[in-house]
Amino acid sequence: MIVVMQLGASQGQIDTVCEVIRRHGAEPLVMPGEDRLAIGVPAALSQDQRVSLETALGLVEGVSKVTQTSSPYKLASREFYPESTQVTVKGVQIGSDTFVVMGGPCSVESYEQFRASADMVKSAGAHILRGGAFKPRTSPYSFQGLQQEGLKIIKQVSEETGLPTISEVMSADMVESVAAHVDILQIGARSMQNFPLLIEAGKSMAPVFLKRGPSATVDEFLLAAEYVLSQGNPNVILCERGLMAFDRAYTRNILDLAVVPVLQESSHLPVVVDPSHGTGVARYVAPMAKAALVAGADGIMVETHPDPKAALSDGSQALDPTQFAALLADLRRIAPVVGKRL
Amino acid sequence: MIVVMQLGASQGQIDTVCEVIRRHGAEPLVMPGEDRLAIGVPAALSQDQRVSLETALGLVEGVSKVTQTSSPYKLASREFYPESTQVTVKGVQIGSDTFVVMGGPCSVESYEQFRASADMVKSAGAHILRGGAFKPRTSPYSFQGLQQEGLKIIKQVSEETGLPTISEVMSADMVESVAAHVDILQIGARSMQNFPLLIEAGKSMAPVFLKRGPSATVDEFLLAAEYVLSQGNPNVILCERGLMAFDRAYTRNILDLAVVPVLQESSHLPVVVDPSHGTGVARYVAPMAKAALVAGADGIMVETHPDPKAALSDGSQALDPTQFAALLADLRRIAPVVGKRL
Amino acid sequence: MIVVMQLGASQGQIDTVCEVIRRHGAEPLVMPGEDRLAIGVPAALSQDQRVSLETALGLVEGVSKVTQTSSPYKLASREFYPESTQVTVKGVQIGSDTFVVMGGPCSVESYEQFRASADMVKSAGAHILRGGAFKPRTSPYSFQGLQQEGLKIIKQVSEETGLPTISEVMSADMVESVAAHVDILQIGARSMQNFPLLIEAGKSMAPVFLKRGPSATVDEFLLAAEYVLSQGNPNVILCERGLMAFDRAYTRNILDLAVVPVLQESSHLPVVVDPSHGTGVARYVAPMAKAALVAGADGIMVETHPDPKAALSDGSQALDPTQFAALLADLRRIAPVVGKRL
Amino acid sequence: MIVVMQLGASQGQIDTVCEVIRRHGAEPLVMPGEDRLAIGVPAALSQDQRVSLETALGLVEGVSKVTQTSSPYKLASREFYPESTQVTVKGVQIGSDTFVVMGGPCSVESYEQFRASADMVKSAGAHILRGGAFKPRTSPYSFQGLQQEGLKIIKQVSEETGLPTISEVMSADMVESVAAHVDILQIGARSMQNFPLLIEAGKSMAPVFLKRGPSATVDEFLLAAEYVLSQGNPNVILCERGLMAFDRAYTRNILDLAVVPVLQESSHLPVVVDPSHGTGVARYVAPMAKAALVAGADGIMVETHPDPKAALSDGSQALDPTQFAALLADLRRIAPVVGKRL
């Protein structure tokens, strides 16, 4: 922690800061600067001591700002854990040299629709089947998903086709039930800071697919992952799905592809990109999926539908079977050039 | 719903759009424009028909965009329900000509601290006592609140002082327990789109204090309120608490005060402003609180602490007893000039 | 300047950083931290040395980040110049206990329209007359202003009514001409970082009304002011006019009222609020103007029009004579309560 | 243009709207809706009539909103001009199947530094040489470029090496001078809405490289291009260089790669990506450059420096000769897979 004093802070104010630091068990290090003086806190503090010290310092007269030099997250940090994490789900390794493709519809609408989706995903050569049973919808009047019935369909189709599955869980009390039916728990962008849910997902030990909130900073995102990791569950996959856009006339969100190398440098966890929500428009999904591959992502999650025109939700961003197969073919051609395979 | 065709859309494409509209039971109204042709859908559709039609139209070749003319929210809308809603809690009327002041600490830290907070709130002449028992914290290593123990303290102090209380509930399965201990359920900014929680809060019939998410549009905010209202619970209070800032060097969020008249025009629900989270800095709270009053807000929620330097969370934005009393005095002088009273 | 090393940085990397600092003429101060080590640069450097050092340090292996502790702006800073600046224009003191109201149309459309505007401004008791001769318009097909003809009309009406005037200058080569016709040079939000214009406006020594860019941070805003001040021109007025909004359905921008106390604390320059562009909607102007007053602003700039329905630009945010007079009456009643007068 | 009425608008209000439309020479088309009534304006209006009508309608009681169906830009629009534009500069075709790479330093610092940069660009196989002579710097105390001396160096090095060149022009009165020394006029992100500059660049008929402002919508960007095009200059290249970021801890901006297909669909103009400013960090440039290629961009602009540690500006985002050559080699391997060549 470093305390920067205001220009012209008095010796009395400097002394007060030093005294507050000493009261928290650390020896202050005074450092004259170009125009403002800084005071360092060269010691290991507990999180509670640190918060207490930071608050106390922030209220001392003459203090300009207090900055942290320690990393806010530890378990998610590559500085602390340099080796890359692989999350393995029924033989699919996420975070390896395989570029993992997750496909499937926004919502599970019926057994027939979901089975057709699975066949489409499998025949295109994708690895994991997605489908929403519980749907977080902005309007209470929109289709909310088949719920428990949807979970059963996911499980059945998974057994029939052998595809590993992923589906969203929206609240802590549903973690057990969803984990009993699907292979990967998805935590949606709007739930990124649903802390009871993060903790329960952590306790479940199931693989957790954590989507970045639309206005979450990188630190907030990794601290959300830290909630899951801190329960002893190392199986976290990070997903960039687009940031809040100030221009929604052409795309639904702004896909932040540069966060892929940023996350891979800051964290050891695998990073997947969702170009479907990231753009919200089916015809922009393929260019962004390919861009994610060469930017170094560990995989993509793409919305597909056997017949997008008839989809009950998000049809306008879903790829149809022909488009999805064409995308996979493109990815298969590009992958080897960047040291990956599908 | 209005469909705008691309420039030079063919007659065949126009015919397809008309046919799709007719298939959904409405008679299309073709309208030539300056350069693009528009097609109206002059009919009442159910939400499911509307979504189905919008999706189908969005995928027809030659369509440039589909826009809705109907209001996405109904129960929250002043167009549908012109009369202003008052939420009454133990005699305090929120949404009246009384400017309601809610004060109290970020976290309940102990009986002594919370009782001192209540005394401070009461002696300053504020109306409602706030205090967090369950704290949503960005880091898993930060103080998470006293939890059940905190709820009991809130209830006890409320009984001793007669002050109505408000506290945050973070998940659906906690609604019943929190509602048994406090008078108003707070749903935090990060939970604004926690739909299971919104539904459960709606079912509880307790007054709900709904904070706007940091990147929520006005429509998304009112649709979140609609979730609560649609369960039959009319007691919703809207709270602006600051938007995600791109410059966090001086304030924590950007307080959007203009949303006060916007919400009051679009909705009949009371609107409260939280200048503590809105700025994140104690010395900016008073100017923004006064600004909220003259901008027409129905009240404010302010973080206070008997001794901010010792606060376990958010001490840097809390007012101490002297500052809080001074703010109330200022508000009391300004209120009559703008037709309000404290 | 403070250099924070990565976790586990080697002694060799630390030595390299120290050597680079010494090569720039400063003695490094090594400071162990909780988990990362920091190295301070306790010396006064020239701006060029500082940039050179920062760049060199940023590229050394093992460096996590380099942060500045010195203020980026000096002449605009209250730390360096504690006394508040007053800008006086024909007897009107901006930055005093008078809350200064600037009114007038978006564009000067004709002598008649502008003269009527001046009469409306004067009779309402406002202080300064605004009007655009050169209009920065998003579309090349929109009305671009009367240009030179407009400047002449402004000068004539000013002479007839005695009102001081303000008008926008869009490029460096127009500064002299605009300064010859109006009393205050306005630099628009889109020109906030037009550096040749800022320098030329600085050289002119005329009062400069600098609008904050829609995505400018506070530091960027004050550095733009610094460009003007560094030419020896102390007459700079800061204006908040709304930030880029991600939700443009209800307002055109997000008015950042908390920046008023932030700027007044960081800088000694007067701060004016423009609620017309800040909201873009006539009926939200009055609540935001009143909020600006109690938040401590030194004045407001408001768009008015003798007949908004007939305005050639921005009619939807202009107040008509009745609305403007009512606003002034409201401000006059509130002002004394917050220690101001109109 | 379509006027949506408020719920429960009276017949009198509807009649007023119709009358206002008729007064502007168009026959209103009334269209009942699900809950709100809409009124269409099926006629070709001039821009002035349209603005006048929109303003007048926006102020009629009972009107909820007025939306445009016509395209705000025409000359930049692919709907109006379906064929893709190629801008040819000394034999380099921007907008062809060649992926054009522009490289060079942020600032021209000396003949030696710029000549070394040119050699580095040429030997790596890049196409166009960039270098700033006039530098828009946030702080007045930062290096402002060699100015006229820099232009002369650019011209000399271009003649010696045969490389076409690009450099920024910051104000209208400098267009002629810059155009006399370089092949492409760059208009920086902060100048995107410097309208006098856009007009003058349009008149020059020189190729114009227009950078998107950090908070510019797609429509605002294309309207800025429209300013240049409307002067009769068809040689406009669009450049995405990153949007204003709310999290600047890891990158300087948010690179909006999805805007590449969006712009290529909306406009016929070539689209280039600047991953150097887009990220602000040298080690993220290569992944984003490759992502731009597969996303379909027509080229990239990359900052390079013979010795980044010694750069006078933006050294932290510049590639050194080895990094730049490695990037070009990577691009050369990927290009054929996506139907491009270098």
What number is the average pLDDT over the span B18-46?
A: 81
Residues C55 and C110 in one domain: no
Q: Are B50 and B69 in contact (CB under 8 A)?
A: no
Measured CA distances, A338 to A10, A101, A295, D33, D334 (Å): 58, 16, 9, 53, 8
pLDDT above 90 as % of chain B: 74
Chain B residues touching chain C at CB-CB below 8 Å: 215, 217-219, 243, 246-247, 249-251, 254-262, 265-266, 278-279, 283-284, 287-288, 290-296, 333-334, 337-338
This prediction has a pTM of 0.94
The pLDDT tens digits for B184-240 are: 999 999 999 999 999 999 999 999 999 999 999 999 999 999 999 999 999 999 999
**Residues written for chain A:** 342
Q: Which residue has the higher pLDDT, C20 or B275?
A: B275
Gap from D248 CA to chain A (nearest CA, Å) = 9
Which pLDDT value is given to residue B320? 96
Same domain for D189 and D315, yes or no, is yes
Residue with tokens 């990967």: A184
Q: Is residue C75 situated within a structural domain?
A: no
Predicted local confidence at residue A142, as pLDDT: 84
- Arithmetic mean of pLDDT, D240-244: 96
CA distance D101 to chain B (A): 31
A17-35 tens-digit pLDDT? 999 888 888 888 887 776 7
The reply to whether D9 falls in a domain is yes
List residues of chain C with CB under 8 Å from any CB of chain A: 1-2, 4, 6-8, 29, 31-36, 38, 40-45, 50, 67, 69-71, 77, 79-80, 244-246, 248
Which segment of C69-83, D31-45, D122-136, D293-307 scores lowest on mean pLDDT?
D31-45
- H helices of A59-174, where? 111-123, 148-161
pLDDT, tens digit, 9 for 90 and up, residues D211-232: 999 999 999 999 999 999 999 9
Average pLDDT for residues B283-292, to the nearest whole number? Answer: 98
Average pLDDT, chain D: 93
Cβ atoms of B212 and B262 closer than 8 Å? no
- Greater confidence (D41 vs D280) lies with D280
Residue B46 belongs to domain with CATH number: 3.30.70.260
Q: What is the mean pLDDT of residues C109-138?
A: 96
Strand duo C253-254 + C243-244: pairing:
antiparallel
Whether A244 and A205 share a structural domain = yes
pLDDT at D54 (0 to 100): 83
Residues D7 and D147 in one domain: no
Which pLDDT score is estimated for B44? 66
Residues A100 and A36 in one domain: no
Report the 3 state secondary structure along chain B. Answer: CEEEECCCCCHHHHHHHHHHHHHCCCCCEEECCCCCCEEECCCCCCHHHHHHHHHHHHCCCCEEEEECCCCCCCCCECCCCCCCCCEEECCEEECCCECEEEEECCECCCHHHHHHHHHHHHHHCCCEEECECCCCCCCCCCCCCCCHHHHHHHHHHHHHHCCCEEEECCCHHHHHHHHHHCCEEEECHHHCCCHHHHHHHHHHCCCEEEECCCCCCHHHHHHHHHHHHCCCCCCEEEEECCEECCCCCCCCEECECCHHHHHHHHECCCEEECHHHHHCCHHHHHHHHHHHHHCCCCEEEEEECCCHHHCCCCHHHCECHHHHHHHHHHHHHHHHHHCCEC
Same domain assignment for residues C211 and C318: yes
Residue C46 in this model has a pLDDT that exceeds 80:
no
D63 and D91 in a single domain? The answer is: no
Query: Does residue B140 lie in a domain region?
Result: yes
C60 plus C125 within the same structural domain: no
Higher pLDDT, A65 or D134: D134
User: Which residues of chain D form beta strands (DSSP E)?
Assistant: 2-5, 29-31, 38-40, 63-67, 87-89, 92-94, 100-104, 128-130, 165-168, 184-187, 208-211, 236-240, 243-244, 253-254, 271-273, 299-303
Q: What is the pLDDT of residue A44?
A: 66
Least confident interval from B270-274, D6-10, D90-94: D6-10
Asked if residue D272 belongs to a domain, the reply is yes
Average pLDDT, integer, range C185-189: 98
Check pLDDT > 80 for residue D135. Answer: yes
Per-residue pLDDT, averaged over B263-282, amounts to 97
Question: How many folded domains does chain C comprise?
Answer: 2
Distances (CA, A) of A103 to A114, A251, A294, A327: 11, 21, 19, 11
State percent of chain B over pLDDT 70: 99
What's the pLDDT score for residue A121? 97
Mean pLDDT of B87-112: 97
Residues B273 and B133 in one domain: yes
Q: Please judge whether C334 and B334 are an interchain contact, meaning their C-beta atoms are less than 8 angstroms apart.
A: yes
Average pLDDT, chain A: 93
Does the pLDDT at position A168 exceed 80?
A: yes
Average pLDDT on A140-156 reads 93
Query: What does the pLDDT average to over B266-276?
Result: 98
Is the model's pLDDT at D51 over the cut of 80?
Answer: no
- Please tell me which of the candidates D59, D171, D310 has its beta carbon nearest to residue C308: D59
Q: Is the residue at D78 inside a domain?
A: no
Say if residue D142 is in the same domain as residue D202: yes
Question: For position B122, what pLDDT does the model report?
Answer: 97
Q: Up-side HSE of residue B224: CA atoms within 13 Å toward CB?
A: 26
User: Would you mind telling me the total number of residues written for chain D in this entry?
Assistant: 342
| Residues of chain A contacting residue D256, judged by C-beta atoms under 8 Å apart | 254-255
pLDDT in tens, B139-163: 888 888 999 999 999 999 999 999 9
The domain spanning residue D221 has which CATH number?
3.20.20.70
* Confidence band for D65, pLDDT divided at 50, 70 and 90: confident
Out of D9-13, D38-42, D338-342, the most confident range is: D338-342
* pLDDT at site A216: 96
Q: Where is the domain boundary, A34, A67, A100?
A: A67
The pLDDT of residue B45 is above 80: no
Average pLDDT for D223-242: 97
**DSSP category for residue D198:** H
Choice among A65-69, A151-155, A196-200 with the minimum mean pLDDT: A65-69
Rounded to two decimals, the ipTM of the complex is 0.93
Residue D70 reports pLDDT greater than 80: no
Is residue A75 a part of any domain in this protein? no
Domain closes at, from C67, C100, C119: C67
Lowest mean pLDDT among A83-87, A139-143, C99-103, D287-291: A139-143
Q: Which of C39, C67, C95 lies at the terminal end of a domain, its last residue? A: C67
List CB contacts (< 8 A) between A290 and chain D.
294-295, 338
Contacts of A among chains (3+ CB pairs under 8 A): B, C, D
Q: Scanning every residue of chain A, which has its alpha carbon at the shortest distance from the alpha carbon of C31? A: A42
In a domain, B77, yes or no: no
Q: What value does the mean pLDDT take over residues D172-176? A: 96
C-beta atoms of A2 and C2 within 8 A = yes
Spatial CA neighbour of D325 closest among D340, D308, D304:
D304
Query: pLDDT at position B174, please?
Result: 95
What pLDDT shows up at residue B43?
A: 65
Same domain, D332 and D244: yes
| A26 lies in the same domain as A158 | no
Mutation to test the C interface, candidates B35, B262, B293, most C Cβ within 10 Å: B262
Residues of D in contact with B79 (CB under 8 A): 6-8
| Domain carrying residue B246 | 87-338
**Token pair for residue C215?**
């995505």
Q: Is residue D82 part of a domain?
A: no
